[in-house]
């Protein structure tokens, strides 16, 4: 397996090869009430891969530019043909047409080109007003069953090139789990993902409308070609939390944690020395460049510890009377759950070393991902 991964909308896959067989004679067969691929395959006792699926769409495409810079559009009837065991990927179709949007064709629009909904095929339709687009699996799939463009009838042994040809042959179908990886051939897996960033090619759509132009080396004016590049910070945070948590709360990687250290004071009104020590630690850690969240609330220790785990700050320091008497502060690493004691006179150095270890862990993971 390799590292291929892609958004479902644009993912490709290795198209299966079909055994080469001689084309058979075109034959019309009666198929009463059979107007879906599933019903057709069951009626004729054939696999869905031996059928051709007709999809009728209307695309809004750019037509011309008016004097005021606005772009006029028109409707373009699109007839797409894919193999019956595949699903049309509308994003691929939209991109191929450079269309603004797609919509399903109406029954009247379909019949206007000589096709019949539920029994459609490219054979015999009026090609003058349509764009016929065929998935690249179709030319290599011989003797398919397709509609006869009349109710209750289909054609057997429909062959691309002999019975019809397309305006465009290209990848039009959606990749699905189990399809072959386009790079290594291993089965693709479908997994959940979060779109934390994206790149859009805007082309000249907006620059034409706004009259935004540039002059080339010959002094000729052209519309600016635009692109959009974005990172969704909110989505990114949500994605990190989804992957770095346990039953107690968040486990922030130190690289993006809101704080490096959570300082928990267990002081009470009767222990002003604990308060003074915690406040001094807070100042010393901040002076060393560490970002510290100081919990000095009047709450029970258990509540504070639970809240610390919930917030997920990478390092937790606990300052209490017993530890001060022993000259130590307890430190817990949120990622591993490991606890240790740091001598008071080595506090800043000990915490900094623990923070450096967390950074080293992040860097090692990044290297592993890069080399995988």
Q: 143-173 pLDDT, tens per residue?
A: 999 999 999 999 999 999 999 999 999 999 9
370 has pLDDT over 90: no
Contact 123, 155 (CB under 8 A): yes
68 has pLDDT over 80: no
3-state helix, strand, coil split of the chain in percent (to 5) is: 30, 30, 45
Q: Categorize the per-residue pLDDT at 63 as very low, low, confident or very high, splitting at 50, 70 and 90.
A: confident
pLDDT score at 1: 67
More confident residue, 127 or 70: 127
pLDDT score at 201: 87
More confident residue, 10 or 147: 147
More confident residue, 204 or 279: 279
Q: Distance between CA 177 and CA 86 in Å, rounded?
A: 12
231 has pLDDT over 80: yes
- What percent of the chain clears pLDDT 90, i.e. is strictly above it? 84
Contact 362, 255 (CB under 8 A): yes
Contact 105, 57 (CB under 8 A): yes
Nearest Cα to Cα of residue 53 among 138, 146, 134, 139? 146
Residue whose pair of structure tokens reads 């859009």 in the numeric block:
200
Collapsed DSSP state (helix, strand, coil) of residue 205: helix
Average pLDDT over residues 225-247: 92
Q: Distance between CA 171 and CA 51 in Å, rounded?
A: 17
Cα separations (Å) of 92 from 102, 107, 217?
A: 11, 24, 35
Q: Return the domain boundaries, the chain.
A: 27-170, 192-213+220-243, 261-371
pLDDT score at 196: 85
346 has pLDDT over 80: yes
Other beta carbons within 10 Å of 369? 9
- What percent of the chain clears pLDDT 70, i.e. is strictly above it? 98
Domain 261-371, CATH among 3.40.50.150, 3.50.50.60, 2.10.69.10, 3.40.50.800 = 3.40.50.800
372 has pLDDT over 90: no
> Any bridge partners for residue 59, and if so which?
76, 102
Q: Distance between CA 9 and CA 200 in Å, rounded?
A: 13
Domain 27-170, CATH among 3.90.960.10, 2.102.10.10, 3.40.50.2300, 3.30.56.10 = 3.90.960.10
């Amino acid at each position: 397996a390799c590292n291929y991964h892609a958004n479902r909308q644009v993912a490709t896959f290795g198209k299966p090869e079909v055994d080469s067989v001689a084309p058979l004679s075109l034959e019309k067969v009666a198929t009463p009430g059979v107007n879906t691929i599933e019903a057709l395959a069951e009626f004729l006792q054939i696999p869905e891969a031996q059928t051709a699926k007709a999809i009728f769409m209307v695309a809004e495409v750019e037509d011309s530019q008016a004097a005021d810079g606005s772009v006029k559009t028109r409707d373009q009837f699109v007839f797409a043909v894919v193999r019956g065991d595949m699903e049309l990927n509308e994003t691929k179709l939209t991109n191929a047409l450079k269309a603004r949007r797609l919509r399903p064709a109406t029954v009247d629009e379909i019949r206007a080109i000589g096709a019949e909904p539920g029994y459609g095929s490219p054979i015999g339709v009026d090609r003058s007003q349509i764009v016929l687009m065929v998935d690249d699996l179709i030319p290599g799939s011989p003797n398919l069953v397709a509609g006869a463009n009349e109710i209750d009838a289909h054609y057997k042994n429909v062959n691309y090139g002999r019975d019809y040809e397309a305006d465009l042959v290209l990848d039009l179908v959606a990749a699905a789990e189990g399809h072959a990886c386009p790079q290594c051939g291993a089965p693709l897996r479908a997994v959940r993902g979060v779109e934390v960033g994206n790149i859009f090619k805007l082309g000249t759509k907006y620059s034409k409308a706004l009259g935004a132009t540039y002059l080339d080396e010959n002094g000729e004016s052209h519309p600016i070609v635009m692109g959009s590049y974005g990172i969704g910070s909110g989505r990114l945070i949500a994605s990190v939390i989804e992957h770095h948590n346990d039953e107690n709360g968040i486990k922030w990687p130190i690289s993006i944690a809101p704080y490096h250290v959570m300082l928990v004071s267990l002081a009470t009104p009767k222990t002003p020395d604990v308060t003074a020590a915690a406040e001094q630690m807070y100042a010393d850690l901040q002076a060393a460049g560490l970002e510290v969240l100081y919990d000095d609330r009047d709450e029970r220790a258990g509540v504070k510890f639970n809240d610390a785990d919930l917030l997920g700050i990478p390092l937790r320091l606990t300052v209490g009377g017993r530890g001060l008497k022993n000259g130590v502060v307890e430190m817990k690493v949120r990622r591993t759950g490991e606890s240790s004691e740091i001598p008071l006179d080595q506090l800043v150095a000990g915490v900094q070393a623990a923070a450096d270890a967390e950074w080293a862990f992040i860097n090692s993971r990044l290297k592993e991902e890069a080399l995988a």
